[in-house]
Structure 1
Amino acid sequence: MDTTIKVDTEVRDRLALLAKERGTTIRDLVAQLAQATFTVGELRDRADHAEQYVRLRLAPELSADDLNRGEDVWATIEAGNVPEALAESSRRA
């Protein structure tokens, strides 16, 4: 069953341009975007699975502090900065 989604003209035009550049339709583009975008629950499940994998195969002693430090490193990188641990290692090299 098809339905209509109402969006601003600018959004529609942007979707049309993206679809054209990818050689597809707006309908298929929106479907692709919906399938490729994870929900909060899916992201949580992926993180849990990754943590279980790391604990089982790489670091059984992985602590909550280790996970928190890892999150801090990613947040620093996403903010466009170099994590302190990486900056220190490059200064030593």
Structure 2
Amino acid sequence: MNNQAKQLPAQIFKGTSKTGTAISRAGSKTVIVRVDSYITHPLYKKKIRTTRRFAVHDEQDTVKVGDRVVIGETRPVSKTKHWKIIQIIGKKL
């Protein structure tokens, strides 16, 4: 039952969702999540990794550094936080 409380249903968030890795804790109820994506160079066709960092609201303070999470777009919680934790996919061992 405790595990179900950590995983919110994805239907609550109507915006976009992304999958990333928690790379740091930034104060109370805030975690920084790194989202990697790959783009293909138009001429050379080489795949290039791009990285974006998002400040994410973690209401229950359950995410640890290294966890894989799904984040969803939400209303602004603060100046930099516009994302919330939807689900914790994998814990760091």
Higher strand share: 2
Q: Output the TM-score relative to the length of structure 1.
A: 0.22
Bigger Cα Rg = 1
Structure possessing the higher relative contact order (Cα contacts under 8 Å, 6 or more residues apart):
2
Q: Output the TM-score relative to the length of structure 2.
A: 0.22
Higher helix share: 1
